[in-house]
Amino acid sequence: MPLAIVTGASAGFGRLFALQLARDGHDLLLVARREDRLHEVAELAKKTAIDAGKPEPRVELVPVDLLSDGAATKVFESAPDADLVINNAGYGHYGPAAEGDRAFQTRMVRLNCELLTDLTLLYARRMLERDVGTVLNIASTTAFQPVPYFAVYAATKAYVLSFSEAIDWELQDVRRQRRGRGRAARGQGPRVIAFCPGYSPTEFQAASSYPESLGVYPMKAEEVVRRALIAVQKGKQAVVPGLGNKLNVVTQRLVPRSFVRATAGRMIRPKLADEG
Ligand SMILES: NC(=O)c1ccc[n+]([C@@H]2O[C@H](COP(=O)([O-])OP(=O)(O)OC[C@H]3O[C@@H](n4cnc5c(N)ncnc54)[C@H](OP(=O)(O)O)[C@@H]3O)[C@@H](O)[C@H]2O)c1
């Protein structure tokens, strides 16, 4: 059975990725800090697969803080030949960046960008050798614009999108150069795909102190995950799920960036304590 790795599998999208992939006939390696939650997800994933008439999947757990030393290597060495790697673990910080917790925000940059990069590089190299495999990097609609009061988070997701798009092109180019252009069609072989969901109620809002009242074009997490896996299947790059989210991203390109930035900032501006 194909093997999928899901980081951040203890909650939200990651938990649902694990269940859907088990239903689709994958073995799993699940990564997150909360081991008890990972055990629950593993049991549910096995049951989900069996209920769907699939063989019971092998589910391995890696309960680790991805920010601890050697975490990416530990994941890679547990399953170097994974067919699908979903870099999903991440969080945000809502509020004035300059007055917020610096360590919380710089750890976010490390998790959302550095760890994602490390795992992508480890697996992209191996997938090139095997000539197969996909890394799915979870970005966000915030990747397309600066977002005041979500400044560091939006910047991390802009990084995820840019990095994924560029390395994906590189992988295909390297493969085509090595194999000869005639024998290596575009879109085949190893891929790194960014997926850009908008607002979806999960534990993310609590983890990031993001008020639920600010969510626009909400989409159920199940739907987000379903569309992400379709993007993987079809090899589609930088998919933004949902009509509202798509329109939001497309219309931004038609107006000056300074206007987009100010509109986003005004829309989600928190009421500051000294405003009375
Ligand atoms: N929900 C949204 O509205 C939304 C929109 C766009 C993009 N996204 C992105 O989607 C991804 C998943 O978010 P979600 O909504 O599913 O959030 P979530 O429900 O809060 O889940 C986040 C997951 O990340 C794991 N995690 C956090 N820090 C970790 C660490 N240091 N080491 C290992 N695992 C860690 C958490 O597990 P433990 O706490 O057990 O470690 C949890 O499983 C994130 O990258 C987020 O930026 C979310």
Q: Is residue 86 part of a domain?
A: yes
Structure tokens at 179: 């194999």
Q: Is residue 218 part of a domain?
A: yes
Domain with 35, as residue range(s), is 3-271
As a whole number of angstroms, the distance between CA 65 and CA 71 comes to: 7
Q: Is residue 219 part of a domain?
A: yes
Residue 146 CA to its chain's centroid (Å): 19
As a whole number of angstroms, the distance between CA 39 and CA 214 comes to: 33
Q: Is residue 68 part of a domain?
A: yes
**Do residues 221 and 12 touch, judged by C-beta distance below 8 A?**
yes
Domain count, the chain: 1
Q: Is 12 in the pocket of ligand 1 (CB under 6 A)?
A: yes
- In 176-254 the beta strands, taken as DSSP E runs, fall at 191-195
For 14-50, the pLDDT digits (tens) are: 999 999 999 999 999 999 999 999 999 999 999 999 9
For 92-150, the pLDDT digits (tens) are: 999 999 999 999 999 999 999 999 999 999 999 999 999 999 999 999 999 999 999 99
User: Quick one: which atom of ligand 1 is closest to the CA of 204?
Assistant: 20
User: If you average pLDDT over every residue of the chain, what do you get?
Assistant: 96
Q: Is residue 35 part of a domain?
A: yes
**Residue 244 three-state SS:** helix
Q: How many CA atoms lie within 13 A of 9 on its CB side?
A: 32
CB count, 10 Å around CB of 1? 15
Q: Is residue 81 part of a domain?
A: yes
User: Quick one: which atom of ligand 1 is closest to the CA of 14?
Assistant: 16
Q: Is residue 276 part of a domain?
A: no
The structure's pTM equals 0.97
Across-strand partners of 211?
Answer: none
Q: Specify the pLDDT at position 276.
A: 44
As a whole number of angstroms, the distance between CA 83 and CA 16 comes to: 18
For 221-274, the pLDDT digits (tens) are: 999 999 999 999 999 999 999 999 999 999 999 999 999 999 999 999 998 765
Out of 7, 15, 33, 214, give the residue to mutate to test ligand 1, the one with the largest number of ligand atoms within 8 Å of its CB: 33
**Do residues 194 and 139 touch, judged by C-beta distance below 8 A?**
yes
Q: Is residue 139 part of a domain?
A: yes
Q: How confident is the model at residue 275 (pLDDT cuts 50, 70, 90)?
A: low
CATH code for the domain of 222: 3.40.50.720
Residue 238 CA to ligand 1 center (angstroms) comes to 19
Phi-psi region of 210 (alpha: psi -120 to 50; beta: other; left: phi over 0): beta
Q: Which helix (H) or strand (E) holds 136?
A: strand 134-138
Q: Is 214 in the pocket of ligand 1 (CB under 6 A)?
A: no
**Residue 226 three-state SS:** helix
As a whole number of angstroms, the distance between CA 155 and CA 153 comes to: 5
Q: From 165, 144, 166, select the one nearest 155 (Cα to Cα).
A: 144
As a whole number of angstroms, the distance between CA 91 and CA 146 comes to: 17
Angle, vertex CA 13, rays to CA 106 and CA 221, nearest 5: 120
